[in-house]
Amino acid sequence: MPETTTSPRRGRRAAASREDVLDAVMHRYLRGGRIDVQEIAAELGLGRTTIYRWFGSRDKLIGEVVAKAGEPALQAARARAKGRGGQALLETFDNFNRFLADNRVLRTFVERERDAALRIITPGAGTVQPRMVAMITGLITDEIEAGTYVAPVEPDTLGYAIVRLAESFLFNDAAAGIRGDVDRLRDVEAAILGIGAPDSAKGASRRRARAPR
């Protein structure tokens, strides 16, 4: 009797995971593309309801990606800052703020979807702000525990203040004439950190030099 060969059964495609969704959104976000949940669901072979069950809403999904993209940037900002203590914290925050102000990807997102971007980035009940506050607070706490910095208030309060201040300068307060003014933001952060005098003097000189005569 001739032998018969049985071709292997083709298995079903493995279901996409939560991480696959984040990767797909990150790919679009980094390239300045609009994030369409229905399109991503179809691409990954998922139901849109599955994505909403995992993340809650489009805003929260994008918030996860924005926060994830910001984390290595803050780590890099700390790595570039010299020394320890309050001055190192100020350099770290200044490096990070300048990265955010100049970042083409974030700027494209905020310009294209301004209302949604502010809903995603700035609320305390969202994803981005609490994660940034936790990371900034962690950096402050590291310096306190190393004995290199004495904070003027509790670390979590200071971390929250630093993040909220940066949000105002980078995203919100065009009416006050401070949006994008990272030099002035550095001066105010220096004052909040308790190391304000030298940098404030420099900042005042910079502003006088820029003022129309």
CA angle 165, 146, 85 (to 5 degrees): 45
pLDDT, tens digit, 9 for 90 and up, residues 46-88: 999 999 999 999 999 999 999 999 999 999 999 999 889 999 9
Tokens coding 177: 């004439």
Tokens coding 114: 């301004």
- CA gyration radius, the chain: 23
Tokens coding 91: 């350099």
pLDDT at 12 over 70: no
Tokens coding 21: 């969704």
What whole-number distance in Å separates Cα of residue 20 and Cα of residue 26?
A: 10
Category of 56 on φ-ψ map: left (φ > 0), alpha (ψ -120 to 50) or beta: left
Query: DSSP character for 153?
Result: S
Alpha helices by DSSP H, listed for the chain, are 18-30, 37-44, 48-55, 58-80, 85-102, 104-112, 114-121, 128-145, 155-167, 182-193, 196-210
Of 160, 159, 180, 158, the residue nearest 168 (C-alpha): 180
Residue type at 141? Answer: T
pLDDT at 157 over 60: yes
**Comparison of pLDDT for 2 and 134, the residue scoring more:** 134
pLDDT reported for residue 176:
58
First to last CA, the chain: 103
Burial of 47 (0-12, 13-18, 19+ CB in 10 A): exposed
pLDDT at 179 over 90: no
pTM of the model: 0.80
**Mean pLDDT within 176-203:** 76
Query: DSSP character for 124?
Result: T
